[in-house]
Structure 1
Amino acid sequence: MTKLTFPRELRLLTPLDFNLVFQESIRAGSPFLTLVTRKNSLNHPRLGFAIAKKQVKRAHERNRIKRLAKEYFRHHQHQFPNIDFILMAKQPVIQLNNQQLVETLDKLCQQIIKKQKN
């Protein structure tokens, strides 16, 4: 049975980790979200967030986006290759309901996986 947890080692935590991803990245975007990725040398994917107050003003909206993304990542972590993901939000994302946000994130992840295989 596979564990569906989101422990500390599955998160991007340090500024160095974030900078490495931004330097040599593969991006996928929509009008609502941008996913910045890079292959890592670990044997598991990692997730980080760069959701600016300037884009999403209210803390409860930023937290909702993070909560939904963490839950999606937690359930799909075993399907992802060894990639570091950084999720960035754009201002119109607050108009999406939870289901639409997760569907958008799923489309972006599928695009990234296709790009990484090429």
Structure 2
Amino acid sequence: MDSSSNGSSGEGSHDFARARRIVKTDEFSSVFRLRPAQKSAHFVLYTRQNQLPHARLGVVVAKRLAPRAVTRNTIKRVTRELFRVTGLPAIDCVVRLAKPVNTKAGPATTAKLKAELRVELARLFAAQSKARPAR
């Protein structure tokens, strides 16, 4: 049987299978060695071309910048969701939280903060989907 008959997902671009993740330390390191592709208020996006037919994603959220696990998980969830729905070229992307998201004024998991982070990440991914890397 061919691999398309597994029946679990109709469109491969909307899943987040292990093949679409950057999981190994050396894979993260090879992307980090390059200059940041883009920066936003809270995030830094690193990219590198890959030889695969699809993009891959890695997310780094340091505990010192987001001390609460619920905050770190929210950031990762929003990042993965936007990655799945954005059509990116064959690149490896690493999104790194660069500035603290917690403030003394309020909890870090408010709907307002979540919306702000979503807008930032959407801009980062949109810029990469428009910019086709030269080979």
TM-score range, shorter chain: 0.7 to 0.9
**Is 1:81 aligned with 2:97?**
no
Q: If the length of structure 2 is used for normalisation, what is the TM-score?
A: 0.75
Kept in 2, the 8 Å contact 1:26–1:112? The answer is no
**Following the alignment from structure 2 to structure 1, what is the Cα–Cα distance between the partners of residues 24 and 34?**
17
1:102 aligned residue: 118
Cα RMSD for the two superposed structures: 2.0
Of 91-100 and 79-88, deviating more is 91-100
State the percentage of identical aligned residues: 31
What 5-or-longer segments of structure 1 have no aligned partner? none
Offset of 1:116 from its aligned partner? 4.8
Q: 1:50 aligns with which of 38, 42, 60?
A: 60
Q: 1:91 aligns with which of 88, 100, 117?
A: 100
**Following the alignment from structure 2 to structure 1, what is the Cα–Cα distance between the partners of residues 126 and 48?**
14
Q: How does 1:16-35 map to 2 (within 5 A)?
A: 16-35=26-45
Corresponding residue SS for 1:97: helix
The answer to which structure has the higher helix fraction is 1
Q: 2:48 aligns with which of 35, 38, 54?
A: 38
AA aligned to 1:49 is: V
Kept in 2, the 8 Å contact 1:38–1:83? The answer is yes
**Is 1:72 aligned with 2:75?**
no
What 5-or-longer segments of structure 2 have no aligned partner? 1-9, 103-107
Q: If the length of structure 1 is used for normalisation, what is the TM-score?
A: 0.85
Offset of 1:82 from its aligned partner? 0.6
Q: How many residues align?
A: 116
Offset of 1:80 from its aligned partner? 0.5
From the CA coordinates, give the structure whose radius of gyration is larger.
2
**Following the alignment from structure 2 to structure 1, what is the Cα–Cα distance between the partners of residues 91 and 114?**
24
Offset of 1:48 from its aligned partner? 0.4
